[in-house]
Structure 1
Amino acid sequence: MVIPNDTPWSGLEAGKVDTRRVDAAARWNWFWAVMPRADATLVLQLSDLPRPAPDLPKLKSLEIRFQTLPGGPILYIRLKDNAQMELFETLCRDVMAAGELAETESEALERAIGRTFRWHYLLRGGKLEVLSEEAQKGLIGEIEVLKLLIAELGPKPALSAWMGPSGAPKDFELKADCIEVKARRGASQPFVKITSEHQLADVPDRRIWLAVLAVDKVQPPHGRTLTEHVDTVTKLLERTEPSSVMDWELHLADVGYDALHDYSAWRWIVSAPEFFAVTEDFPRIAAPVLLGVSGVTFALALSACSPFLKAWNDVRAGLIEGGQA
């Protein structure tokens, strides 16, 4: 493959790893590079590899990895399809801009990975705009449950269990429990929308919970913005377990949240979650369904769920007994 002349990689020699510093005035060590197969690459040179190594996004047209070279460790982002070079340059410059805001190298790495996860979301079909009202409500609902799990299990296990941003069938998957979270307007009809037959489906050897919260939009000065809800958790993690902040930010990036967006137009109040035990006789349509039927969506009346309502203390006791702490 030939590197086009109008790109930052032009003039770099294919057949070996050839590099050019992006900007001599940059705070961190960014390099344009060409890998042996003439693949355009962005490199961030590091003093040390992070321990433990954080998760990295997986994209069809990109390879994102840590590597130790004779000159030291690096993080690199390699384009595998040169037909997308213009978009790749935009991605690289955006990742660098995010990293350059950092005060330390480790923070620069966190920001670079977080911004790459943001591109992972965008290239998967997400949008550059702020999250919709429905998406904000859903994220706030999951954050409220996450805060409960952090208090019981600690930040790392709670964040590891949070599967909602990745699009998994259940929003939280723990060793002995799964939790599906639904946010609704408090004044709306007493129903929640179940969007898949898998959301309330049984999982072997795990209890299934449906957590329902009222999340309502209010006028200033009442309530809090999505940014404020997010910042509450960020500050909690910075105070109690700073090493979990990267995991938290990666989850947010995967769900499409960008701290640079302005969410001041929306303020929200949220209720404490109610937990319903999804047992064999719980009202639901669950997998497996009839052959040829899929993508089942239905409205679930909360009045029909009331016999299955459990106190949080009952839920948390099971988490602890299940060895989650």
Structure 2
Amino acid sequence: MFRAAQSSTSSTPSACARCSARKRSKRRRWVIPSDTPWSGLEVGKTDTRRVSASARWNWFWAVMPRADVALVLQLNELPKPAPDLPKLRNLEIRFQTLPGGPILYIRLKDSAQLELFETLCRDVMAAGELAETEPEALERAIGRTFRWHYLLRGGKPEVLSEEAQKGLIGEIEVLKLLIAALGARPALSAWTGPSGAPKDFELRSDCIEVKARRGASQPFVRITSEHQLADVPERRLWLGVLAVDKVQPPHGRTLTEHVDEVTDLLERTEPSAIMDWDLHLADAGYDALHDYTHWRWIVSTPEFHAVTDGFPRIAAPVPLGVAGVTYALALSACTPFRTDWEEVRAGLAEEDEG
């Protein structure tokens, strides 16, 4: 079992010392509820209990010196380089090297969130237990913790509007194509739409703007800025168009199901990319705690257009004094520039090799 390093304190009496002593005394008086896995651990010092003798990896329920409950994963060695860790308001996630060896711990700083924190801990352990090696277990545990970034910090106050859901689903469909072509990390790095960038995807040699429309609507897409279809020096520009239509159950899928599909893919193939995925979703306004069961969508295969000389558009720079240009683009006028994903992907493959 690991051992925590003990900190020394000065015995010189002072008002600050007495205040600190009262705070420590108050913490020691806090009683851990009996129906939690931390029940019976001693408050006021580091105390631990192995989660399960049958667990594949060394998980411990723990109480930290400041009386905070925690989940600990004991490791044989620290990963090199050390991965990024979530930074959450009410959680502390850190590596620490103790006399008994290195650990990763997740500490709850707000005891009012104890019940929810237990759910998080069990979910993190369940993800880690699927791993065949300790490095993979650590990677899965960290990735699952990132998925809980809304847990103690709070998410968006409202569900996404129908238009926002359609737009996000459209971008996710193109993201899946990019993941298949380039891998998860490069594809997610290229996904700039949620951060408010002019183009939805920006790669080294290519940019892609995505538009979702109703299949039964007039054959137009709405361009909301003069920058969306503006040329980018030394990059090809593509316009991807999808039909995203609302349907009645049991047809179609919810936004949550579209999100879960990519999450499941990343968990199987590249769990370390889940952090980037979750942060992009957060930037897009998606909160996994919201209920999207009232909307179901069917999605068409994306159609692509090469935005080159002669393409119908209003692009920057516009005349002085003109800004915020919004216009409807007739898809019939884009027909001469129509291409397919294979042509787009071929250029991306060359870029990836370079």
Taking structure 1 as reference, are residues 131 and 113 closer, same or farther at Cα in structure 2, changes over 3 Å only? farther
Q: Which residue of 2 aligns with 1:298?
A: 326
* In structure 2, C-alpha distance between the alignment counterparts of 1:142 and 1:130, rounded to whole Å: 18
Decide which moves more: 147-156 or 102-111. 102-111
* In structure 2, C-alpha distance between the alignment counterparts of 1:21 and 1:290, rounded to whole Å: 68
For 2:217, what is the secondary structure of its paired residue? Answer: coil
For 2:149, what is the secondary structure of its paired residue? Answer: helix
Please tell me whether residue 224 in structure 1 is matched to residue 253 in structure 2: yes
* One-letter amino acid of the counterpart of residue 229, structure 1: H
For 2:270, what is the secondary structure of its paired residue? Answer: helix
Q: Which residue of 2 aligns with 1:174?
A: 203
Taking structure 1 as reference, are residues 220 and 7 closer, same or farther at Cα in structure 2, changes over 3 Å only? same
For 1:251, what is the secondary structure of its paired residue? Answer: helix
Q: Which residue of 2 aligns with 1:33?
A: 64
For 1:322, what is the secondary structure of its paired residue? Answer: helix
Taking structure 1 as reference, are residues 307 and 123 closer, same or farther at Cα in structure 2, changes over 3 Å only? farther
Q: How does 1:125-274 map to 2 (within 5 A)?
A: 126-127=156-157, 131-165=160-194, 168-194=197-223, 199-233=228-262, 242-248=268-274, 250-252=276-278, 254-256=280-282, 263-274=292-303
For 2:304, what is the secondary structure of its paired residue? Answer: strand
Deviation at 1:185, TM superposition (A): 1.7
Is the radius of gyration larger for structure 1 or structure 2? Answer: 2
* In structure 2, C-alpha distance between the alignment counterparts of 1:199 and 1:232, rounded to whole Å: 28
* In structure 2, C-alpha distance between the alignment counterparts of 1:22 and 1:163, rounded to whole Å: 44
Q: Which residue of 1 aligns with 2:149?
A: 119
* One-letter amino acid of the counterpart of residue 170, structure 2: G
Q: Deviations over 1:216-237 (max 9, x none)?
A: 1112343233444345445655
* In structure 2, C-alpha distance between the alignment counterparts of 1:87 and 1:230, rounded to whole Å: 30
* Structure 1: gaps spanning 5 or more residues: none
* In structure 2, C-alpha distance between the alignment counterparts of 1:45 and 1:202, rounded to whole Å: 50
* In structure 1, C-alpha distance between the alignment counterparts of 2:181 and 2:91, rounded to whole Å: 38
For 1:119, what is the secondary structure of its paired residue? Answer: coil
* In structure 2, C-alpha distance between the alignment counterparts of 1:90 and 1:196, rounded to whole Å: 46
Q: Is the Cα–Cα contact under 8 Å of residues 45 and 72 in structure 1 kept in the other structure?
A: no
Q: Deviations over 1:161-216 (max 9, x none)?
A: 33445555543232211223222222234444445665445544322322221111
Instruction: State the TM-score, normalized to the length of structure 2.
Output: 0.64
* In structure 2, C-alpha distance between the alignment counterparts of 1:287 and 1:67, rounded to whole Å: 53
For 1:212, what is the secondary structure of its paired residue? Answer: strand
Please tell me whether residue 99 in structure 1 is matched to residue 131 in structure 2: no
* In structure 1, C-alpha distance between the alignment counterparts of 2:295 and 2:255, rounded to whole Å: 8
Taking structure 1 as reference, are residues 100 and 76 closer, same or farther at Cα in structure 2, changes over 3 Å only? closer
Q: Is the Cα–Cα contact under 8 Å of residues 33 and 43 in structure 1 kept in the other structure?
A: no
Q: Deviations over 1:109-150 (max 9, x none)?
A: 6355444454359848524x6655334323321222122223
Compute the RMSD of aligned alpha carbons.
Answer: 4.6
For 2:179, what is the secondary structure of its paired residue? Answer: helix
* In structure 1, C-alpha distance between the alignment counterparts of 2:279 and 2:235, rounded to whole Å: 28
